[in-house]
Protein backbone atom coordinates (compact mmCIF):
# COMPACT_ATOMS: atom_id res chain seq x y z
CA UNK A 1 0.00 0.00 0.00
CA UNK A 2 1.38 3.33 -1.08
CA UNK A 3 0.50 7.01 -1.08
CA UNK A 4 1.46 8.45 -4.46
CA UNK A 5 1.23 12.13 -5.39
CA UNK A 6 1.56 13.60 -8.86
CA UNK A 7 2.97 17.11 -9.07
CA UNK A 8 3.53 19.42 -12.01
CA UNK A 9 2.62 22.76 -13.48
CA UNK A 10 -0.88 23.79 -14.55
CA UNK A 11 -1.69 21.97 -17.77
CA UNK A 12 1.06 19.37 -17.44
CA UNK A 13 -1.45 16.49 -17.64
CA UNK A 14 -1.72 15.35 -14.03
CA UNK A 15 -5.43 14.46 -14.11
CA UNK A 16 -5.15 12.17 -17.12
CA UNK A 17 -2.17 10.34 -15.67
CA UNK A 18 -3.84 10.05 -12.26
CA UNK A 19 -6.81 8.31 -13.88
CA UNK A 20 -4.62 5.94 -15.87
CA UNK A 21 -2.37 5.04 -12.94
CA UNK A 22 -5.30 4.48 -10.59
CA UNK A 23 -6.64 1.92 -13.05
CA UNK A 24 -3.25 0.30 -13.63
CA UNK A 25 -2.38 0.08 -9.92
CA UNK A 26 -5.87 -0.45 -8.53
CA UNK A 27 -5.44 2.68 -6.44
CA UNK A 28 -8.04 5.11 -5.18
CA UNK A 29 -7.72 8.43 -7.02
CA UNK A 30 -8.20 11.88 -5.56
CA UNK A 31 -8.53 14.95 -7.79
CA UNK A 32 -7.93 18.60 -6.92
CA UNK A 33 -11.03 20.84 -6.66
CA UNK A 34 -11.25 22.75 -9.94
CA UNK A 35 -14.97 22.62 -10.66
CA UNK A 36 -16.02 23.25 -7.04
CA UNK A 37 -13.45 25.93 -6.23
CA UNK A 38 -15.56 29.04 -5.42
CA UNK A 39 -12.54 31.34 -5.67
CA UNK A 40 -10.88 30.32 -8.91
CA UNK A 41 -12.62 32.59 -11.42
CA UNK A 42 -12.62 35.48 -8.92
CA UNK A 43 -8.92 34.95 -8.33
CA UNK A 44 -8.04 35.27 -12.00
CA UNK A 45 -10.14 38.46 -12.15
CA UNK A 46 -8.65 40.02 -8.99
CA UNK A 47 -5.66 38.03 -7.64
CA UNK A 48 -4.69 40.56 -4.97
CA UNK A 49 -8.11 40.29 -3.34
CA UNK A 50 -8.63 36.56 -3.56
CA UNK A 51 -5.13 35.01 -3.40
CA UNK A 52 -5.04 34.47 0.37
CA UNK A 53 -8.60 33.13 0.88
CA UNK A 54 -8.19 30.83 -2.12
CA UNK A 55 -4.87 29.46 -0.84
CA UNK A 56 -6.36 28.71 2.58
CA UNK A 57 -9.40 27.12 0.93
CA UNK A 58 -7.24 24.87 -1.24
CA UNK A 59 -4.84 23.95 1.56
CA UNK A 60 -7.66 22.98 3.92
CA UNK A 61 -9.32 20.88 1.22
CA UNK A 62 -6.09 19.11 0.36
CA UNK A 63 -5.40 18.53 4.04
CA UNK A 64 -8.78 16.82 4.37
CA UNK A 65 -8.11 14.67 1.30
CA UNK A 66 -4.71 13.67 2.64
CA UNK A 67 -6.27 12.60 5.94
CA UNK A 68 -8.95 10.68 4.06
CA UNK A 69 -6.27 8.89 2.06
CA UNK A 70 -4.35 7.89 5.19
CA UNK A 71 -7.51 6.47 6.75
CA UNK A 72 -8.35 4.63 3.54
CA UNK A 73 -4.90 3.05 3.33
CA UNK A 74 -5.03 1.77 6.90
CA UNK A 75 -8.61 0.51 6.66
CA UNK A 76 -8.45 -1.19 3.26
CA UNK A 77 -4.78 -1.70 2.41
CA UNK A 78 -5.44 -0.08 -0.96
CA UNK A 79 -3.08 2.57 -2.28
CA UNK A 80 -4.06 6.18 -2.99
CA UNK A 81 -2.94 8.49 -5.77
CA UNK A 82 -3.33 12.27 -5.79
CA UNK A 83 -3.66 14.75 -8.64
CA UNK A 84 -1.58 17.41 -6.83
CA UNK A 85 -1.30 17.48 -3.04
CA UNK A 86 -1.08 19.76 -0.03
CA UNK A 87 2.69 19.81 -0.62
CA UNK A 88 2.32 21.31 -4.09
CA UNK A 89 -0.10 23.91 -2.77
CA UNK A 90 2.92 25.80 -1.44
CA UNK A 91 4.14 26.55 -4.97
CA UNK A 92 1.08 28.67 -5.68
CA UNK A 93 1.12 30.43 -2.32
CA UNK A 94 4.76 31.44 -2.73
CA UNK A 95 4.16 32.57 -6.31
CA UNK A 96 1.33 34.80 -5.07
CA UNK A 97 3.62 36.27 -2.43
CA UNK A 98 6.42 36.89 -4.93
CA UNK A 99 3.95 38.47 -7.35
CA UNK A 100 2.66 40.82 -4.66
CA UNK A 101 -0.77 39.22 -4.34
CA UNK A 102 -0.10 38.28 -0.70
CA UNK A 103 1.60 40.41 1.93
CA UNK A 104 4.60 39.23 3.92
CA UNK A 105 2.34 38.77 6.96
CA UNK A 106 -0.20 36.76 4.95
CA UNK A 107 2.52 34.47 3.59
CA UNK A 108 3.99 33.97 7.07
CA UNK A 109 0.57 33.00 8.42
CA UNK A 110 0.03 30.62 5.52
CA UNK A 111 3.39 28.94 6.22
CA UNK A 112 2.67 28.60 9.95
CA UNK A 113 -0.63 26.87 9.22
CA UNK A 114 1.05 24.66 6.62
CA UNK A 115 3.71 23.57 9.11
CA UNK A 116 1.03 22.64 11.65
CA UNK A 117 -0.88 20.60 9.07
CA UNK A 118 2.13 18.76 7.67
CA UNK A 119 3.22 17.58 11.13
CA UNK A 120 0.13 15.37 11.33
CA UNK A 121 0.30 13.93 7.80
CA UNK A 122 1.95 10.89 6.27
CA UNK A 123 4.80 11.77 3.92
CA UNK A 124 3.90 10.45 0.43
CA UNK A 125 5.77 7.25 -0.35
CA UNK A 126 6.16 8.31 -4.00
CA UNK A 127 6.16 11.68 -5.74
CA UNK A 128 5.81 11.72 -9.52
CA UNK A 129 7.00 15.07 -10.84
CA UNK A 130 5.88 15.79 -14.41
CA UNK A 131 8.59 18.09 -15.74
CA UNK A 132 6.96 19.98 -18.61
CA UNK A 133 8.14 23.26 -20.07
CA UNK A 134 5.85 26.27 -19.43
CA UNK A 135 5.30 26.55 -23.20
CA UNK A 136 4.07 22.94 -23.27
CA UNK A 137 1.72 23.62 -20.35
CA UNK A 138 0.32 26.74 -21.99
CA UNK A 139 -0.40 24.80 -25.18
CA UNK A 140 -2.20 22.12 -23.16
CA UNK A 141 -4.21 24.74 -21.27
CA UNK A 142 -5.36 26.30 -24.52
CA UNK A 143 -6.35 22.90 -25.88
CA UNK A 144 -8.56 21.99 -22.87
CA UNK A 145 -10.35 25.38 -23.03
CA UNK A 146 -11.32 26.01 -19.41
CA UNK A 147 -12.75 29.52 -19.36
CA UNK A 148 -11.09 30.53 -16.09
CA UNK A 149 -7.66 29.47 -17.44
CA UNK A 150 -7.89 31.11 -20.86
CA UNK A 151 -5.92 34.19 -19.84
CA UNK A 152 -3.06 32.57 -17.91
CA UNK A 153 0.11 34.27 -19.19
CA UNK A 154 3.25 32.34 -20.00
CA UNK A 155 5.14 34.42 -17.42
CA UNK A 156 2.94 33.04 -14.64
CA UNK A 157 3.61 29.45 -15.70
CA UNK A 158 7.34 30.22 -15.89
CA UNK A 159 7.18 31.61 -12.35
CA UNK A 160 5.55 28.42 -11.08
CA UNK A 161 8.10 26.30 -12.92
CA UNK A 162 10.94 28.15 -11.18
CA UNK A 163 9.57 27.11 -7.78
CA UNK A 164 9.02 23.42 -8.45
CA UNK A 165 12.67 22.62 -7.76
CA UNK A 166 12.06 23.77 -4.20
CA UNK A 167 9.14 21.37 -3.88
CA UNK A 168 11.12 18.43 -5.31
CA UNK A 169 13.95 19.16 -2.86
CA UNK A 170 11.53 19.43 0.09
CA UNK A 171 9.88 16.12 -0.68
CA UNK A 172 13.22 14.37 -1.08
CA UNK A 173 14.31 15.80 2.28
CA UNK A 174 11.12 14.48 3.88
CA UNK A 175 11.82 10.98 2.56
CA UNK A 176 9.47 10.69 -0.39
CA UNK A 177 10.75 8.68 -3.35
CA UNK A 178 10.76 11.31 -6.11
CA UNK A 179 10.47 10.16 -9.73
CA UNK A 180 11.12 13.02 -12.19
CA UNK A 181 9.80 12.48 -15.70
CA UNK A 182 10.28 14.55 -18.83
CA UNK A 183 6.66 15.34 -19.65
CA UNK A 184 6.94 17.58 -22.68
CA UNK A 185 5.15 14.81 -24.52
CA UNK A 186 2.55 12.54 -22.98
CA UNK A 187 3.91 9.07 -22.31
CA UNK A 188 1.99 5.79 -21.99
CA UNK A 189 1.19 4.52 -18.53
CA UNK A 190 3.48 1.53 -19.10
CA UNK A 191 6.44 3.91 -19.27
CA UNK A 192 5.48 5.41 -15.89
CA UNK A 193 5.13 1.96 -14.36
CA UNK A 194 8.65 1.12 -15.53
CA UNK A 195 10.00 4.28 -13.90
CA UNK A 196 8.19 3.45 -10.67
CA UNK A 197 9.62 -0.07 -10.72
CA UNK A 198 13.13 1.37 -10.95
CA UNK A 199 12.58 3.24 -7.67
CA UNK A 200 10.30 0.76 -5.91
CA UNK A 201 10.63 -2.77 -7.30
CA UNK A 202 7.33 -4.64 -7.16
CA UNK A 203 5.11 -1.56 -6.86
CA UNK A 204 3.14 -2.34 -10.01
CA UNK A 205 2.43 -5.90 -8.85
CA UNK A 206 1.61 -5.33 -5.19
CA UNK A 207 -1.71 -3.53 -5.50
CA UNK A 208 -5.27 -4.71 -5.45
CA UNK A 209 -6.05 -4.23 -9.14
CA UNK A 210 -9.56 -3.68 -10.35
CA UNK A 211 -10.73 -1.65 -7.35
CA UNK A 212 -11.20 1.90 -8.58
CA UNK A 213 -13.04 4.63 -6.74
CA UNK A 214 -12.32 8.13 -7.94
CA UNK A 215 -13.24 11.14 -5.86
CA UNK A 216 -13.54 14.19 -8.13
CA UNK A 217 -13.69 17.25 -5.92
CA UNK A 218 -12.09 19.60 -8.36
Distance separating alpha carbons of residues 133 and 172, to the nearest angstrom: 22
- The answer for residues whose C-beta is within 8 angstroms of residue 206's C-beta and 6 or more apart is none
Distance separating alpha carbons of residues 133 and 161, to the nearest angstrom: 8
Distance separating alpha carbons of residues 211 and 26, to the nearest angstrom: 5
Q: Is 131 a catalytic residue?
A: no
Distance separating alpha carbons of residues 77 and 71, to the nearest angstrom: 10
C-beta separation of 160 from 10 below 8 A: yes
* Annotated catalytic residue within 46, 83, 106, 162: 83
Residues that are catalytic: 83
Amino acid sequence: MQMIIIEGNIGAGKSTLTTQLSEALGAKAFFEPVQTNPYLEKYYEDPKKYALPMQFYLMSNRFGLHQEGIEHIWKTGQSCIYDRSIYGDYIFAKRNWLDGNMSQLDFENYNKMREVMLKSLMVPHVTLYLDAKPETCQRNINMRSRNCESGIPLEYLQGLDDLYRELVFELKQKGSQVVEIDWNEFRPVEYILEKLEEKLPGISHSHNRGYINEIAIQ
